[in-house]
Chain A
Amino acid sequence: MKRSLLWIPLALFALLIVVAAFALRHPADPTIRSRLVGKPMPEFALGPSQPNHPGLGTADLRQGRPRLVNVFASWCIPCRIEAPALAELKRRGVPIDAVAIRDRPEDVATFLRENGDPFDRIGDDPHTKVQFALGSSGVPETFLVDGRGIIRLQHIGEIRPEEVDEIYRAWSAAR
């Protein structure tokens, strides 16, 4: 055997170290994006979560005006954090609907009382069905749906104050 061949294992080991070091510096992004962005909103019709808000269905989301659909839950802490951002969007004239995930109506009522209620419609999704149909994998997530019912944007995680402008611009562009 050639002596130079003896170095191959060491070279392979060095390569392994380089790969590991690279992977440690660039961890895989665990965010799962919905593949439905750019496609029509899936068909669904959810009953109301609250007596003072109608439920939410696909037909409500193609009325000619872009809307936000906020996927939230009363048990979700980042949903509380994003409440002021949603209130600000509402103040600027952005219509917002919501889907309450795995939630009790009375808990949702408490959540809205404590954090403000920017929603026009709130659909009740007790078994996560509509969330799956949307390709959403957590709360909060916010979808921008244009007037023809096409999903234009998926925002994953809470909307931070500095992200309000970006979302408002996307909403204006969808008009």
Chain B
Amino acid sequence: MKARRATFVRPERSRRAHLERPGSAPRLRSARTSLVALALAASPLAAQPTLPSSPYAYTQLPDARQEAEAKALMETLRCLVCQGQSIADSNADMAGDMRALVRERIKAGEKPEDIRRWLIERYGEWVSYKPPVEPLTWPLWGAPVILLALGLFLARGRFRRRRRG
């Protein structure tokens, strides 16, 4: 998903290295950037050490109930640099830091929905995989119900006709 999406991004929009180190993933998007990357890769400069990840990026909370709460929240938060994955699923450094942020705040006693709100205040609804029920999203929530009702109606018509014939 990560690599595939990258190929669809138009070069003029791809002006930054997200929080991935050169060489960590095939994310270099514009021809210019890749050329520079190649030039740098040829020198020892590119062999940069990686900073150890945040304490709670890959470590569960000691309290199982808190960890379950954190995990449930992480599964509904969108990774900022991969965009198709939740932070629970992503290996990106930034997703790791977001997991650490979630775990540390849950550990400190913060409510999951407050953490979600904190992130939405900064990144918009986009960061959450749990869309709110509001006029803009009514079609989203209503569509399954409407489609199901439509399907039942169509099925009913078919069964009735068959019985008659």
Contacts and interface: CB of A to CB of B under 8 A. Distances in A.
B135 to A, nearest CB: 20
Nearest to A141: B16
B123 A35 contact: yes
A127 B57 CA distance: 10
B21 A75 contact: yes
A126 interface: yes
Given A75-B48, A107-B48, A132-B97, A32 B124 contact: yes
A132 B98 contact: yes
A41 B157 CA distance: 61
B15 A158 contact: yes
A27 interface: yes
A70 interface: no
B16 A158 contact: yes
Contacts of B8: 27
Interface residues of B, number: 36
Given A140-B16, A157-B15, A74 B9 contact: no
B33 A137 contact: no
B17 A138 contact: yes
Given A77-B37, A138-B19, A128 B97 contact: yes
Nearest to B51: A102
Contacts, number: 101
Contacts of A30: 5, 9, 13, 83
A128 B126 CA distance: 19
A103 B51 contact: yes
Given A77-B37, A104-B49, A127-B100, A139 B16 contact: yes
A81 interface: yes
B117 to A, nearest CB: 12
B48 A74 contact: yes
B16 A134 contact: no
A20 interface: no
22 contacts: A32-B80, A32-B123, A32-B127, A35-B121, A73-B19, A75-B48, A77-B22, A77-B36, A78-B16, A80-B36, A102-B97, A104-B49, A129-B97, A132-B119, A132-B122, A137-B80, A138-B17, A138-B18, A138-B19, A139-B16, A139-B17, A158-B15
Interface of A: 27, 29-36, 73-81, 101-104, 107, 126-129, 132-135, 137-141, 156-158
